[in-house]
């Protein structure tokens, strides 16, 4: 094992695990990752919960109780997922305390079926914050058009938010604007801004997957040369936008009031194409004030053979713009790609949520007590 994870952490990158299950909590594995692998946070999403709960390990006793109470499947899923997040938050609480609230965070997502409904998203975020009832929770809200005003409203209430499913640079700027507007609302309401935290989850590998597919269809030498570059370029230009927004006069006024920057979080960092190094989206996205949330396989790969050589974003902006332009010149429209990825991202999470509801409903029926 190398010390790559420690070096990554020393460079100012917070290492979060993109996975959670009850077994991971109860076995002590999560605590072990904090202790030995420099993990300081956890993210979940509907796909992760669907995999964990469908696997069944550790959930039967609670499912049996929920079946006896005749809860609806929607209520049961929320009881199960919030229990896992609450327990994980307790494991991470020492990290939260040691970092002054910056890390030691666990994220839980609003029902993905609400992604295009602002008021329902706000109501769900408030309910989740109440249900989990831990200060180190982040409520995940998707960066859809309907999600943007919800982000402002929820931040304005003093609830910390992980904004998810960000693919485009334009949408990322709108997310940062929504965060600042929320902080301004919170300030006007007299809330303590130092208690509010946020990350913006900018997706990386999915951009390469979609653009590479289109490049492969072209099949030209120029298209081949452009493979595997757009995901990193897009993320690096997002960091440029972050530096710009969080040095603005608008930000400075909030900074003086005790607010914290909304950190960029690199999401979807598992490498999908075996032609690329399996630590690509870790090694090449190192910059201070960022978060990298990794599936366990990527975490282990980084620990084993990651190459952490200092800041790998500084000085890349001109090259990154050229790499995005090169794809555009080949007839692959950036806006078309990122809009498709957002639509698909919402659809995939909704499909996972529906699968979770179906499998949970089947378990509730199986475990339901006979009448009498």
Q: Where do the domains of the chain lie? A: 4-361
The stretch 261-274 carries a mean pLDDT of 97
From CA 367, how far away is CA 359, in angstroms rounded? 12
292, 15 contact by CB (below 8 A)? yes
Closest CA to 236 of 301, 177, 297, 281: 281
Active site residue 145: no
Question: pLDDT averaged over the chain?
Answer: 96
User: pLDDT-derived band of residue 185, with 50, 70 and 90 as boundaries?
Assistant: very high
Classify strands 137-142 and 263-267 as parallel, antiparallel or unpaired. Answer: unpaired
In this structure, what token pair is assigned to residue 335?
A: 């806006």
Catalytic residue among 23, 51, 70, 140: 140
140, 164 contact by CB (below 8 A)? yes
The stretch 264-279 carries a mean pLDDT of 96
CATH number for the region 4-361 comes to 3.20.20.70
Each residue's pLDDT tens digit, 75-102: 999 999 999 999 999 999 999 999 999 9
Which residues fall within 8 angstroms of residue 357, CB to CB, at 6 or more apart? 73, 74, 77
Residue 372 scores a pLDDT above 60: no
User: pLDDT-derived band of residue 53, with 50, 70 and 90 as boundaries?
Assistant: confident
Which pLDDT value is given to residue 152?
98
């Amino acid at each position: 094992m190398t010390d790559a994870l420690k070096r990554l952490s020393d460079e100012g990158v917070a290492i979060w695990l993109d996975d959670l299950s009850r077994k991971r909590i109860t076995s002590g594995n999560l605590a072990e990752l904090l202790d030995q692998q420099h993990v300081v946070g956890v993210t979940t999403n509907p796909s992760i919960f669907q995999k964990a709960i469908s696997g069944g390990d550790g959930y039967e006793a609670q499912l049996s109780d929920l079946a006896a109470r005749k809860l609806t499947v929607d209520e049961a899923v929320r009881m199960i997922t919030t229990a896992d997040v609450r327990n994980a938050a307790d494991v991470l609480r020492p990290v939260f305390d040691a970092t002054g609230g910056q890390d030691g965070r666990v994220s839980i997502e609003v029902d993905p079926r609400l992604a295009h409904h602002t008021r329902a998203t706000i109501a769900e975020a408030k309910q989740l914050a109440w249900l989990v009832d831990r200060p180190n929770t982040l409520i995940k809200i998707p960066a859809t058009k309907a999600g943007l005003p919800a982000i402002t409203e929820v931040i304005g209430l003093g609830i910390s938010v992980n904004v998810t499913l960000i693919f485009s640079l334009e949408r990322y700027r709108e997310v940062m604007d929504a965060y600042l507007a929320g902080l301004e609302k919170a300030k006007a309401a007299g809330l303590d801004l130092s208690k509010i935290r946020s990350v913006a989850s900018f997706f990386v590998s999915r951009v390469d997957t979609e653009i590479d597919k289109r490049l492969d269809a072209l099949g030209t030498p120029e298209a081949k040369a452009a493979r595997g570059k757009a995901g990193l370029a897009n993320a690096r230009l997002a960091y440029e936008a972050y530096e710009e927004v969080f040095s603005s006069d608008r930000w400075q006024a909030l900074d003086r009031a005790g607010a914290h920057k909304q950190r960029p979080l690199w999401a979807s960092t598992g490498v999908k194409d075996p032609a690329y190094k399996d630590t690509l989206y870790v090694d090449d996205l190192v910059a201070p004030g960022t978060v990298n949330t990794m599936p366990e396989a990527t975490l282990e790969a980084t620990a084993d053979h990651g190459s952490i050589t200092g800041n790998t974003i500084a000085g890349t902006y001109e090259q990154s713009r050229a790499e995005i332009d090169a794809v555009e010149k080949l007839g692959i429209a950036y806006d078309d790609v990122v809009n498709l990825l957002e639509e698909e991202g919402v659809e995939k999470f909704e499909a996972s949520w529906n699968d979770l509801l179906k499998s949970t409903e089947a378990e509730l029926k199986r475990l339901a007590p006979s009448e009498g």
